[in-house]
């Protein structure tokens, strides 16, 4: 079977053939202008990573790198079946929902002395043990416990076969972001976020790319972030950032798609509309990045070093922060292990 197109090429391929999702030129320009005004702030640097991950351990230890692996291996499907019934985890007096429940649960486990970031432990932990680690404050559990257990133990076994830590595993790719993504998807099944669109194999690799970007965020905080090819990474196509892109006018959904999403229709992984939402999100951020770099060159006479990962690190917290204003734009619902 032919290998799938890489995420950037997949995004372009999908956007050029999309029927229900469209990249809007005017909105792309608007977002580029918005980001241009933030170019001298920390929002568009790797330190934006720390903002998105306030519960991460101090970056100086290799435990922080294993933490990133544990989190990103289980970083999928946090949306609640009912808005009023959300899984919640309280840690140090703050109650978290969504993705942050996972970070809070892992931080709580570490404080309780559970070696949750040690591959020797998490490669063979039982589902009951993981259920205890991820326990919710209320009756609503974190979704997909069985799948989280499966992917975490599988990931742990792969690390044990490659030196016993995420650091030793990822070092096989040198310091090249593209090779890191390729290594992750080659060795770990659950990171193979691929589909078929118009007869073509495509890839979106949300978790593999975010794992590399998070690794970079930790290494950058240590002053060791000289990873090449970071610009090869795209945004991380999930269900939250597309909502922000529609809100900002960089993406547009047809009325038919809007109606389906407003009705709460569940899209299966690989459904044409689901692939279009994710692929067009990737392509719109690529165009935003190009436009932003053009503005920096024209107005500042400088080279732009903002990559798509950093734009995602900005847009994701932006979506969380403005969720009330965006409430009229539905997120798409797909229960899967890829995002």
SS3 135: coil
Query: Are 85 and 216 in contact, with CB atoms under 8 Å apart?
Result: no
3-state secondary structure of 206: helix
The question of whether 238 is a catalytic residue gets the answer: yes
Residue 10 CB coordination number (10 Å): 27
- CA 125 from chain centre, in angstroms, equals 25
Catalytic pick from 72, 193, 214, 238? 238
Asked whether 60 and 222 are in contact (CB, 8 A), the reply is yes
- Six token digits for residue 200: 């073509």
Distance, CA of 281 to CA of 243 (rounded, Å)? 9
Tokens of 76: 């999928």
What is the CA angle 238-312-98, rounded to 5? 50
CB 97 within 8 A of CB 115: no
Give CA separation, 331 vs 55, 197, 234, 251, 325, in Å.
25, 21, 20, 13, 13
| Eight-class DSSP state of 197 | E
* Residues designated catalytic: 238
């Amino acid at each position: 079977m032919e290998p799938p197109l890489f995420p950037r090429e997949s995004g372009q391929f999908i956007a050029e053939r999309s029927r229900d999702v469209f990249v809007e030129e005017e909105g792309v320009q608007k977002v580029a202008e918005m980001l241009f005004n933030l170019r001298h702030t920390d929002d568009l640097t790797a330190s934006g990573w720390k903002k998105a991950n306030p519960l991460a351990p101090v970056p100086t230890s290799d435990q922080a790198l294993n933490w990133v692996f544990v989190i990103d291996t289980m970083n999928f499907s946090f949306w609640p079946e009912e808005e009023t019934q959300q899984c919640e985890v309280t840690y140090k007096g703050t109650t978290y929902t969504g993705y942050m429940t996972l970070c809070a649960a892992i931080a709580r486990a570490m404080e309780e002395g559970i070696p949750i970031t040690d591959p020797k432990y998490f490669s063979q932990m039982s589902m009951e043990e993981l259920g205890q680690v991820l326990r919710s404050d209320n009756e609503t559990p974190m979704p997909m416990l069985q799948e989280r257990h499966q992917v975490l133990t599988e990931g742990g076994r792969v690390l044990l076969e490659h030196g016993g830590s995420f650091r030793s595993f990822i070092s096989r790719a040198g310091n090249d972001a593209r090779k890191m993504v390729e290594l992750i998807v080659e060795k770990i099944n659950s990171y193979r976020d691929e589909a078929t669109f118009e007869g073509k194999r495509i890839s979106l690799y949300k978790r593999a790319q975010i794992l590399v970007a998070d690794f970079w965020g930790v290494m950058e905080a240590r002053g060791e972030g000289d990873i090449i090819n970071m610009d090869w990474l795209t945004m991380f196509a999930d269900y939250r950032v597309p909502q922000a892109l529609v809100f900002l006018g960089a993406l547009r959904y047809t009325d038919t798609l809007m109606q389906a999403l407003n009705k709460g229709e569940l899209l299966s992984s690989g459904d044409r509309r689901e692939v279009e939402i994710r692929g067009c999100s990737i392509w719109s951020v690529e165009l935003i990045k190009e436009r932003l770099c053009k503005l920096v060159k024209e107005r500042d006479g400088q080279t732009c070093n903002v990559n798509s990962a950093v734009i995602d690190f900005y847009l994701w917290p932006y979506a969380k922060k403005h969720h009330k204003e965006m409430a009229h734009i539905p997120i798409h619902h797909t229960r899967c292990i890829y995002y």
